[in-house]
A and B are shown apart, each in its own frame.
Chain A
Amino acid sequence: MITPFLELRSVSRVYGSGDTEVRALDGVSLAVMPGDFVSIVGPSGSGKSTMLGLLGCLDAPSDGTIVVDGEDVSRVADASRTRVRGRSIGFVFQQFHLIPHLDALSNVETALLYRGIRPGERRERSLAALDRVGLAHRHDHRPVQLSGGEQQRVALARALVTEPKILLADEPTGALDSKNAANVMEILAGLRSSERAVVLVTHDVGIADSAARKISMLDGRIVSDEVLRP
């Protein structure tokens, strides 16, 4: 049996309490397998951002169990969750979130800091990751000197450089024009492998449909989970 990279078992996330209680996620179960290319789609308020926070070990569930890469992170200290996050998950955000005062290479290298990796090796791996998204030649450019599409590709390189099992992309094309969006989607699709799962969170049904598996959410629950293509 293949162990899932990500597993949610009856997970709930509740904000507030009493009258103001909001069940952003309500007893959701889900497994993301190696090689999956999953999109999570839903309108705003459907719980997909909450889901992203939980899948990315940025948040802890109110109830239920989350297992990431074989490790139960439901009720562990922040430091342990941070460790699992750094080891197993790569993030891509809608707003790219590159560090503005660092050039492209240093931004990618940031993901490799505090891991006991020699500066030389860190640089080598970062350049390789930039090369993979076709931006090795712009490694010394700062974010302001790069186009939106290029910035998102740097962010992709940063997410990839640690070789994470799970790549979490939050509206990765939301701030891009259609040409750049297509380019980023193409790279994302190319990243799924037997060693990696790609999870894409979006409200854009068109983008969601380009994934291999589509999970639709509404009011904190999964309403459908369909395989679009093998």
Chain B
Amino acid sequence: MSTPRDLTRVAFSGLAARKMRTVLLLLGPMIGVAAIVAAVGLTDSAKGDLKAKVAELGTNLIEASAASAFGQSSPTLPIDAVERAATVTTVESVSSIRQLSNVVVTPYTEALEQFDTVPIPVLAADADLPRVLEVGLVSGRWLDDFDESSRARVAVIGQALAAEFSYLPGENRTVELAGFPYAVVGVLEKVPLEPGFDNAVFVPFAAVADDFLDEDPVEPNKLYVRCQTGTEDLTSEALSVAVGLGGPTQISSEVKSEALELAAESDRQLQLIVVSMGLLAIVVGGLGIANVMSISVIQRSAEIGIRRALGHTRRIIALQFLLEAIAVGVVGGILGVLLGMLAIFVGVSAAGWVFVMAGWLAPAGVALAVVISVLAGSYPAVRAARLEPLETLRLG
């Protein structure tokens, strides 16, 4: 049947004949959709690089800390915590650390005065830590089993600390930890999930026992656990039981990427406000369409009358006007999406973010514009259809 094609032709010729009016009609849905697309896109893009990072780092890293133990000021985990954690079947790898306090770090003896007030974290770490965290070394090597067995005074430092200490790759450097000389053997890359490590000093457990703590062997107070992806919550629970069983220590587990994911969530409040404004713009635009088209129906009453006289039914007349509104919605919606994308692009370029635009945003924007214009166009369309040809043709 050729009716839909004929209708489309008539609707578009009606719009093309009144270009200024058509442009004004387009503005409402266009600006509304552009505002919504830009609001959602920009707020998403603002956190886009964080989201990408989370995806890259993986979500399966769990941190299990000794939370509290009765009568202990600095709670620790059992000495065999790593072995206990490894018994959980969903665990893929485990590493342990012990965070120390009140260890003053200086790059060289003479610098003591400048550095004794700057708290630099010192941690005992085992040989598996970089593998579990999935980070590499900027230079040198990580602590190994020989360092432990030989009770060597060696240290690996974080990337930011290396920069602060002006440490050159491969340089033979001795730093002082609470007055003990430690040889720097490597520099650790940034750990996105554990930003504090960037500034930390890592030493073997055996050396900690010798120099800083009154215990041997040294008990860890934190585990880093990689589990099978998807089993994070399950593994967290199992770890509490496996590691804490039979001891006084409470275990608190945290999926490391969750905090980052939370931070990567868009600012919903701001997004809501701007989207509401966009919706308001679309509704006002819709009212504009209803208004302008109602006037247009009056202006075109003679045309409607003659079409009716020529045998066009009320339904055809209504569809013709509705189709004009739909065309305005489709074109306005598409232009709005393009304008919104341009706004996102400009904003993202200015702020140095990653361009993020949800796949549903473009079709949803156009659909919204079409829905609004159909709603707005139905009243004038019905009015046009109700016109009596006898009244509009002014017969002599």
Footprint of B on A, CB under 8 Å? 49, 52-53, 56, 58-59, 78-79, 82-83, 85-87, 91, 93-95, 97-102, 106, 110-111, 113-118, 158, 162, 170-171, 174, 201-203
A114 and B6 contact, CB distance less than 8 A: yes
B307 at the interface (CB under 8 A from A): yes
For the complex, what is the distance from the CA of A62 to the CA of B167, rounded to whole Å? Answer: 105
For the complex, what is the distance from the CA of A162 to the CA of B393, rounded to whole Å? Answer: 20
B2 (CB) vs chain A CBs: closest residue: A116
B395 and A49 contact, CB distance less than 8 A: yes
Chain A residue contacts of B316, Cβ below 8 A: 114
Chain B interface residue number, banded: 20 to 34
Footprint of A on B, CB under 8 Å? 1-3, 6-7, 10, 13-14, 17-18, 302-303, 305-316, 388-390, 393-396
Which DSSP category, helix, strand, loop or mixed, fits chain A's interface?
loop
Chain B residue contacts of A113, Cβ below 8 A: 6, 10, 310, 312
Contact of B395 (CB < 8 Å), options: A87, A111, A117, A170? A170
Of A97, A106, A201, which is in contact with the most chain B CB atoms at under 10 Å from its CB?
A97
B312 and A86 contact, CB distance less than 8 A: yes
Query: Do A171 and B14 form a contact, CB below 8 Å, given A91-B310, A97-B306, A116-B2?
Result: no
Chain A residue contacts of B305, Cβ below 8 A: 97
For the complex, what is the distance from the CA of A91 to the CA of B307, rounded to whole Å? Answer: 11
Contact of B311 (CB < 8 Å), options: A85, A98, A102, A202? A85
B18 and A82 contact, CB distance less than 8 A: no
B395 and A99 contact, CB distance less than 8 A: no
B165 smallest CB distance to A (angstroms): 79
Query: Do A203 and B393 form a contact, CB below 8 Å, given A87-B311, A118-B2?
Result: no
For the complex, what is the distance from the CA of A58 to the CA of B315, rounded to whole Å? Answer: 16
B238 smallest CB distance to A (angstroms): 72
A85 and B396 contact, CB distance less than 8 A: no
B2 and A117 contact, CB distance less than 8 A: yes
A109 smallest CB distance to B (angstroms): 10
B311 smallest CB distance to A (angstroms): 2
Contact of B13 (CB < 8 Å), options: A85, A101, A115? A101
A77 smallest CB distance to B (angstroms): 10
For the complex, what is the distance from the CA of A35 to the CA of B219, rounded to whole Å? Answer: 116
B322 smallest CB distance to A (angstroms): 15
A97 and B313 contact, CB distance less than 8 A: no
Of A79, A87, A91, A174, which is in contact with the most chain B CB atoms at under 10 Å from its CB?
A91
B6 and A53 contact, CB distance less than 8 A: no
For the complex, what is the distance from the CA of A97 to the CA of B396, rounded to whole Å? Answer: 13
- For this complex, 26 residue pairs linking A to B, each with C-beta atoms less than 8 Å apart, are A52-B395, A58-B309, A58-B393, A79-B314, A82-B311, A82-B312, A82-B313, A83-B311, A83-B313, A85-B309, A86-B311, A91-B306, A91-B309, A91-B310, A94-B395, A97-B305, A97-B309, A101-B18, A102-B17, A110-B307, A110-B310, A111-B311, A116-B1, A116-B3, A117-B2, A202-B396
Contact of A49 (CB < 8 Å), options: B3, B310, B396? B396
Q: Which 5 A-B pairs have the closest CB atoms?
A: A86-B311, A101-B17, A171-B396, A97-B306, A49-B395
Contact of A111 (CB < 8 Å), options: B310, B388, B394? B310
B293 smallest CB distance to A (angstroms): 16
B390 and A59 contact, CB distance less than 8 A: yes
For the complex, what is the distance from the CA of A174 to the CA of B396, rounded to whole Å? Answer: 9
For the complex, what is the distance from the CA of A202 to the CA of B396, rounded to whole Å? Answer: 8
Chain B residue contacts of A106, Cβ below 8 A: 13
B66 smallest CB distance to A (angstroms): 81
For the complex, what is the distance from the CA of A99 to the CA of B394, rounded to whole Å? Answer: 15
Chain A residue contacts of B308, Cβ below 8 A: 58, 82
B317 (CB) vs chain A CBs: closest residue: A82
A206 smallest CB distance to B (angstroms): 15
A102 and B13 contact, CB distance less than 8 A: yes
For the complex, what is the distance from the CA of A185 to the CA of B10, rounded to whole Å? Answer: 32
For the complex, what is the distance from the CA of A201 to the CA of B309, rounded to whole Å? Answer: 16
B396 and A56 contact, CB distance less than 8 A: no
For the complex, what is the distance from the CA of A45 to the CA of B252, rounded to whole Å? Answer: 97
B390 and A99 contact, CB distance less than 8 A: no
B393 and A93 contact, CB distance less than 8 A: yes
B301 smallest CB distance to A (angstroms): 11
